[in-house]
Chains A and B, each alone.
Chain A
Amino acid sequence: MDNKRRKFLKMAGATVLAGISAPALVKLSSTSAVASGEGGHEAPAASPGNAGGHGEEQPSGVRLGMVIDMRNFYQDQGLLDKAIAACVKAHNVPQIPDPKSEIKWIWKTGFGNLFPEHSQKLRSEKIKNSQFPALCNHCDNPSCVKACPTKATFVVEKNGIVAMDFHRCIGCRFCMAACPYGARSFNWQDPRPFIKEYNADFPTRMRGVVEKCNFCGERLALGLEPACVEACKGTGAIVFGDLNDSHSEIRKVLDQEFTIQRKPSAGTMPSVFYIV
């Protein structure tokens, strides 16, 4: 009896020791084998092509972007209303009066809300009194895409648009918390009663789904320009095109003008630029 107990205690002690030391041994032997000279514990570093963090922007493929020339909107505040109306009509965006549950694809906001990182001191009257267009920035490094647990929001590889698949959205609103630009809206109620006029070629949304600007992916597929760009046609107020194509019109504008982006410090690399 006594002998058995002693044997059991010995075995138990040895097992515990082995259990504690095994991971340490494995780790020691693996670092000496794999990371000889590298000095890091994590051997596979992020590949340079798709750097996840605040890395280099990807210069490959099509990346659609937009330059918003505010000089046109200062002159004609009605222009922005026209652009918004075109978007609302094209995408069956509900017009909900309550700001807590309103749905925004492209909307008006003041300079201070648009560029909170910029100083607001002694701004000109023109800037203080003007309404600026705000919309999804279709970031190169979108935080909403990382937050989405169902991949309902994702980057379209063909053109860099941050798109949404409403079928998959479960309405968790993580993307809304992740987006630094407030570009996403949640349907707290059935949006249909708030839609004035249907576009028969586009669906509505349902209660419990997040929505946002889609850069008119469905119109681009038909060879059309985005609705807001088309509404401002002829003024050059919104220039739309491929940011990665050095010969595109948008790149020419970006070459010539001083442009700013919203919240560059968020590291999301927006594709929407403003000439203020």
Chain B
Amino acid sequence: MYNKGLIVSGLVIFVLLVTFPIWFNGLDAGPLPKPELPPGGEKECVAPAAEMRDSHMQLLNEWRDDVLRNSDRVTITVGGKEYQKGLQIACMQCHSNKEKFCDTCHEYAAVSPTCWDCHITPTELVKKEAQ
């Protein structure tokens, strides 16, 4: 093998650089996000918490297609209360604080969903009323 020293040391430097975020933080992923539970005290969601955590994005996409594309606006009953399918008109009725619920995990996972480009958050509502 030619240039063994160069190649091996180059590889070592490369691996070190790529794994920089891991070892720089001392092999610690930082404090886990603690999303705030619904301020209204609701205990039941449309699906178990674990399922929601994993696949709320798929559920939201399905709802969107049901409502807009397939005209399937069947309401869902959770804990004796009826909700229409929708981010604004179902989810955020209980999870009324986007900043303390949605954002905590999204920021931690470095994802920036575009939902709130159009959908109105309660904070935005209050801001508009104050104007």
Residues in chain A within 8 A of chain B (CB atoms)? 92, 154, 156-159, 163, 165-167, 192, 195, 197-198, 200-206, 209, 221
Any chain A CB within 8 A of the CB of B58? no
Is A204 a contact partner of B68 (Cβ separation < 8 A)? Answer: no
Provide the residues of chain B in CB contact with A197, threshold 8 Å. 128
Is A157 a contact partner of B71 (Cβ separation < 8 A)? Answer: yes
Please report the C-alpha to C-alpha distance between residue A166 and residue B88 in the assembled complex, in whole angstroms: 15
Q: Binary interface profile of B, 81-122, with partner A (CB < 8 Å = 1, else 0)?
A: 000100011000000000000000000000000100111100
Is A167 a contact partner of B64 (Cβ separation < 8 A)? Answer: yes
Give chain A nearest CB distance to B67 CB in angstroms: 8
Provide the residues of chain A in CB contact with B64, threshold 8 Å. 165, 167
Q: How large is the interface on B (under 10, 10 to 19, 20 to 34, 35 or more residues)?
A: 10 to 19
Is B117 a contact partner of A206 (Cβ separation < 8 A)? Answer: yes
Give chain B nearest CB distance to A187 CB in angstroms: 10
Beyond A157-B71, A159-B71, is A203–B118 a contact (Cβ under 8 Å)?
A: yes
Give chain B nearest CB distance to A14 CB in angstroms: 54
Residues in chain B within 8 A of chain A (CB atoms)? 64, 68-69, 71, 73, 84, 88-89, 114, 117-120, 124-125, 128
Please report the C-alpha to C-alpha distance between residue A197 and residue B126 in the assembled complex, in whole angstroms: 11
Beyond A203-B88, A203-B118, A203-B120, is A198–B125 a contact (Cβ under 8 Å)?
A: yes
Provide the residues of chain A in CB contact with B117, threshold 8 Å. 206
Please report the C-alpha to C-alpha distance between residue A192 and residue B64 in the assembled complex, in whole angstroms: 22
Is A195 a contact partner of B88 (Cβ separation < 8 A)? Answer: no
Is B69 a contact partner of A154 (Cβ separation < 8 A)? Answer: yes
Is B73 a contact partner of A198 (Cβ separation < 8 A)? Answer: no
Provide the residues of chain B in CB contact with A157, threshold 8 Å. 71
Q: Which 10 A-B pairs have the closest CB atoms?
A: A206-B117, A203-B118, A221-B73, A158-B71, A165-B68, A203-B119, A198-B128, A206-B118, A204-B118, A201-B89
Provide the residues of chain B in CB contact with A204, threshold 8 Å. 118-120
Provide the residues of chain A in CB contact with B119, threshold 8 Å. 203-204
Provide the residues of chain B in CB contact with A158, threshold 8 Å. 71
Provide the residues of chain A in CB contact with B84, threshold 8 Å. 221
Provide the residues of chain A in CB contact with B71, threshold 8 Å. 156-159, 221
Q: Which residue of B lies closest to A161 (CB)?
A: B71
Beyond A197-B128, A200-B88, is A205–B69 a contact (Cβ under 8 Å)?
A: no
Is B124 a contact partner of A205 (Cβ separation < 8 A)? Answer: no
Provide the residues of chain B in CB contact with A167, threshold 8 Å. 64, 68
Provide the residues of chain A in CB contact with B69, threshold 8 Å. 154, 165
Is A200 a contact partner of B68 (Cβ separation < 8 A)? Answer: no
Provide the residues of chain B in CB contact with A198, threshold 8 Å. 120, 124-125, 128
Provide the residues of chain B in CB contact with A202, threshold 8 Å. 88
**Can you list 15 A-B pairs, Cβ within 8 angstroms, ordered by A?**
A92-B120, A154-B69, A165-B64, A165-B68, A166-B118, A192-B124, A195-B128, A198-B120, A198-B125, A201-B88, A201-B89, A202-B88, A203-B88, A204-B119, A209-B118
Give chain B nearest CB distance to A200 CB in angstroms: 6
Provide the residues of chain B in CB contact with A195, threshold 8 Å. 128
Provide the residues of chain A in CB contact with B118, threshold 8 Å. 166, 203-206, 209
Please report the C-alpha to C-alpha distance between residue A202 and residue B86 in the assembled complex, in whole angstroms: 10
Please report the C-alpha to C-alpha distance between residue A202 and residue B64 in the assembled complex, in whole angstroms: 13
Provide the residues of chain A in CB contact with B125, threshold 8 Å. 198, 200
Give chain A nearest CB distance to B85 CB in angstroms: 10
Please report the C-alpha to C-alpha distance between residue A200 and residue B18 in the assembled complex, in whole angstroms: 46
Give 19 new A-B contacts, CB below 8 A, not counting A209-B118, A221-B71, A221-B73: A92-B120, A156-B71, A157-B71, A158-B71, A163-B68, A165-B68, A192-B124, A197-B128, A198-B125, A198-B128, A200-B120, A200-B125, A203-B88, A203-B119, A204-B118, A205-B118, A206-B117, A206-B118, A221-B84
Please report the C-alpha to C-alpha distance between residue A156 and residue B88 in the assembled complex, in whole angstroms: 22
